[in-house]
Amino acid sequence: MDAIVAQAPVSTSEEVTLSNPMRTGERIQQAGLLPAETVQHILATAASFDEPSGKILSHSTNVVPRLFYQQLAEQLDLTYVDLQATRPEMTLLFQDDIGSYILHDAIPFRRANDGILIATSNPTSALKRWAEARFEASVTFVITSPRDIVAALANRFGNHLLQDSCFALYNAQPRRSAYKSLPARLWTFVGLGLLACLISVILAPVAALTLFIALVNCAYLISIGFKWWLYRHHRNQTLRPTTLLADQELPIYTVLIPLYDEAASVPGLLKAMRAIDYPKHRLDIKLVLEADDQATLEAIQRERPENYFDIIRVPYQEPRTKPKACNYALHFARGRYVTIYDAEDRPDPQQLRKAVTAFRQLPDTTVCMQARLNYYNWEENLLTKWFAIEYASLFDIMLPGLHCLRMPIPLGGTSNHFHLQRLRELGEWDPFNVTEDADLGIRLAAHQFQTALLPSVTLEEAPIFVSIWMKQRSRWIKGYIQTWLVHMRRSNHTRKRLGWRGFIGLQVFVGLPAFLFLCAPIFWGIFILSLTGALPFALPSSITYSCLVILVLGIANHWFFAWKVTQSWQWHRMGLAILSYPFYWFLHIWASFIAVYQLMVKPYYWEKTPHGITRYRG
């Protein structure tokens, strides 16, 4: 340590920069780290941005950071320090300053005589002024890599960051978290309710079943009518940004990509991210891995990703959910805006640019953009065709309708874009909710923020087997039930925050589907038994006819929306999928019972969906 302190030269200039761009490029080229044509291209890019070439060279290529920053240190006549080998002085690091460390790409390293050594990858006068004011001491710069800085912060504050990722929302807004949202008294209430229903059927079967069928019929009518209401208002609700912003106007954009057991998806994922039309040195892509996921880590390392990809390893702690991983990685985010992609996603290359342009056009109360989602393997089999029809109906009709009617928009699990500071103010994602996206959409609406719909499509991989689909869908239904329960804890408060229209949207769009799926076996079983005369008693004929009307309306409703979206997407060979689409919803019945079972025994369990098994590669 003493040797490092003694060697570190003090920069006496007011403005410490990365020196002459040509000198930086020449050193990298002469060291054999990059070919001449790559260096010249990056130098031209640096000139057009009026930014130091060192920053662009380091972020836009896959040069080993240690080798690059050693060259930079020599050029600036400063000392290079490897923070993995020589740890910073822990007493100098404060968790309240983590945001500043990430912002400046710097970390306090050592005390040196009457001053302080600051390890940084970007020695600037702004950093110098901040450090002098923060530590009330003279500042000496030493050079290190951004990855070393992140690793040092994770080493020092990892446990605090992990606890914050799990419990920050619960500690700040306990009634807005799904943690402990299912107390024993709730299950007692449910059990007593079911017992009362059973006793009613035994004592007065005709009256009880007539009332049950009438209630479910009303619920079906509300659901069908609500979808048609959304359909009537869904047109022209997507933003149409005219002129996209130029490269020089674009801010740093953070992309979070949570990965678990996704080694097979890594090559296609990195290819899709490299295709994004955004200045590479202003991309901050976080590949978020569980600490024990060695296979995915090795798959990433084999691809040798550029340095705008960072690997964030999340220490083990329950719940092992996607939102917890994203919360952890968010501590290291450098962007003004942030989005999430999944391992199999193939986003529109201009999606980030469109999002920034739209954010600039809209009022500050718009803090989220939701892109459209669908599937690149939609034609693989009947199940993928059904799923594609459902997603097209959701993102092309239902969500635009909700937006037009100013109802809360339950977000999709990917390709939602946020203003980072606003996201933090909202409490980030709920790690105990397995549809954290839908929950966050309701929460931001309750805080009087808006979600806009982005004219951009991300294609995903649809499950090709019913067993995989069932895992995913049961998780979604479980999460929607969690979300409904959380926001109905204080129903009157939620109604006031959302307004009557938003409150109705929460009931019908989030709460009602699970209720109908769970009631369906009993409801349709009674209908069939009544129709065939197999019941030991007769129900009023009006009840049987009302069920028949609901059946016809429901099938017609499914057929219409399936036909509408297949025409819109110009999908061919979809006749069988359209005709059989009503049967797709029978799968939801079984998924709903799985969801309720998991809600009782393991409410925070994340049912993993495997990817990379389709023959289509997007």
* Cβ 345 vs Cβ 413: under 8 Å: no
176's tokens? 């807005």
The CA-CA-CA angle for residues 598, 604, 606, to 5°, reads 85
* Cβ 238 vs Cβ 455: under 8 Å: yes
Domain boundaries, the chain: 2-156, 193-235+350-618
422 band by pLDDT with thresholds 50, 70 and 90: very high
Task: Say which DSSP state 336 is in.
Answer: S
Question: Would you state the pLDDT for residue 320?
Answer: 93
Tokens 């009026």: give the residue.
50
Q: Which has the minimum average pLDDT: 349-353, 442-446, 456-460, 539-543?
A: 539-543
Question: Would you state the pLDDT for residue 9?
Answer: 44
612's tokens? 């990379």
Q: Is the dihedral of CA 199, 201, 207, 211 positive or negative?
A: positive
22 band by pLDDT with thresholds 50, 70 and 90: very low
Q: Is the dihedral of CA 427, 431, 432, 435 positive or negative?
A: positive
pTM (two decimals):
0.91
Tokens 């020695």: give the residue.
123
Residue scoring higher pLDDT (383 or 242):
383
Q: What is the mean pLDDT of the chain?
A: 89
Task: Say which DSSP state 238 is in.
Answer: S
Task: Say which DSSP state 610 is in.
Answer: P
Phi then psi for residue 424, to 5 deg, are -65, -40
Question: Would you state the pLDDT for residue 205?
Answer: 81
Which run of H or E residues covers position 156?
helix 146-172
Best CA proximity match to 477, nearest among 398, 387, 592, 395:
592
* Cβ 404 vs Cβ 237: under 8 Å: yes
The CA-CA-CA angle for residues 445, 475, 566, to 5°, reads 75
Which run of H or E residues covers position 414?
none
Question: Would you state the pLDDT for residue 615?
Answer: 82
Q: Which has the minimum average pLDDT: 55-69, 120-134, 474-488?
A: 55-69
